[in-house]
Amino acid sequence: MFARLPEAAATATISVIIDGKSVCARAGDSVAATLLAAGFDRCRTSPVSGAPRGPYCLMGVCFECLVSVDGVGNRQGCLVLVREGMRIETGAGRRDAAR
Amino acid sequence: MPSKSAECDVGVVGGGLVGSCLALGLARVGQRVALFDEGDGAVRASHANFALVWVQSKGLGLPEYAGWTIRSADAWASFAAGLKEETGIDVAYERPGGFHLALSEAELEKRAQELKRLHNQPGMVRYATEILDRRQLEGMLPQLGPEVVGGSFCALDGHCNSLRLHFALKSALKGRRVRLCPDHRVERIDWEGGAFNIRTRGCSLLAGKVVIAAGNGSMQLAPMVGLSAPMRPNRGQVIVTERVQRFLNHPIVSVRQTDEGTVMIGDSQLEGSDPQKMTMSVNQAMAARAVRIFPILARLNVVRMWSGIRVMTQDGFPVYDQSERCPGAFVVCCHSGVTLAANHALTLAPMIVAGRLDPVLDPFSARRFDVCQAA
Q: Is the pLDDT of residue B263 over 60?
A: yes
Give the model confidence (pLDDT) of A23-74 as tens digits.
999 999 999 999 999 999 899 999 889 999 999 999 999 999 999 999 888 9
pLDDT (mean) for B155-166: 97
Supply the pTM of this predicted model: 0.91
Residue from B8, B140, B158 nearest B80 by CA: B158
* pLDDT band at A97; cut points 50, 70, 90: confident
Task: State the span(s) of chain B assigned CATH 3.50.50.60.
Answer: 8-49+163-231+315-369
* pLDDT band at B373; cut points 50, 70, 90: low
Q: Do B300 and A97 touch (CB under 8 A)?
A: yes
Q: Is the pLDDT of residue B372 over 70?
A: no
Q: Do A98 and B296 touch (CB under 8 A)?
A: yes
Q: Do B244 and A63 touch (CB under 8 A)?
A: no
Q: Is the pLDDT of residue A10 over 90?
A: no
Task: State the span(s) of chain B assigned CATH 3.30.9.10.
Answer: 234-310
pLDDT (mean) for B202-219: 95
What's the rounded Cα separation, in Å, for the pair B143 and B163? 27
Residue from B295, B287, B247 nearest B265 by CA: B287
A48 at the B interface (CB within 8 A)? yes
Distance in angstroms between the alpha carbons of the first and the last residue of chain A = 32
Q: Nearest-CA residue of chain A relative to B303? A: A63
The domain made up of B234-310 has a fold known as D-Amino Acid Oxidase; Chain A, domain 2 (3.30.9)
Q: Do B242 and A95 touch (CB under 8 A)?
A: yes
What's the rounded Cα separation, in Å, for the pair B44 and B46? 5
Read out DSSP for B44-106? Answer: -GGGG---EE--TTTTTT-HHHHHHHHHHHHHHHHHHHHHHHHHS-----B---EEEEESSHH
pLDDT (mean) for B305-332: 95
pLDDT at B208: 97
ipTM over 0.85: no
Q: Is the pLDDT of residue B191 over 70?
A: yes
**What top-level class would CATH report for the domain A13-89?**
alpha beta
Q: Are B344 and B300 in contact (CB under 8 A)?
A: no
* pLDDT band at A93; cut points 50, 70, 90: confident
Please enumerate in sequence order all residues whose Cβ is within 8 A of that of B7, keeping only pairs 6 or more positions apart, or say none: B34, B205, B206, B207
The domain made up of B8-49+163-231+315-369 has a fold known as FAD/NAD(P)-binding domain (3.50.50)
Higher pLDDT, B48 or B11: B11
pLDDT (mean) for B218-240: 95
A50 vs B contacts (CB less than 8 Å): none
* pLDDT band at B4; cut points 50, 70, 90: very low
Q: Is the pLDDT of residue B31 over 90?
A: yes
Give the model confidence (pLDDT) of B266-304 as tens digits.
978 888 778 788 899 999 999 999 999 999 999 999 989
Q: Is the pLDDT of residue B374 over 70?
A: no
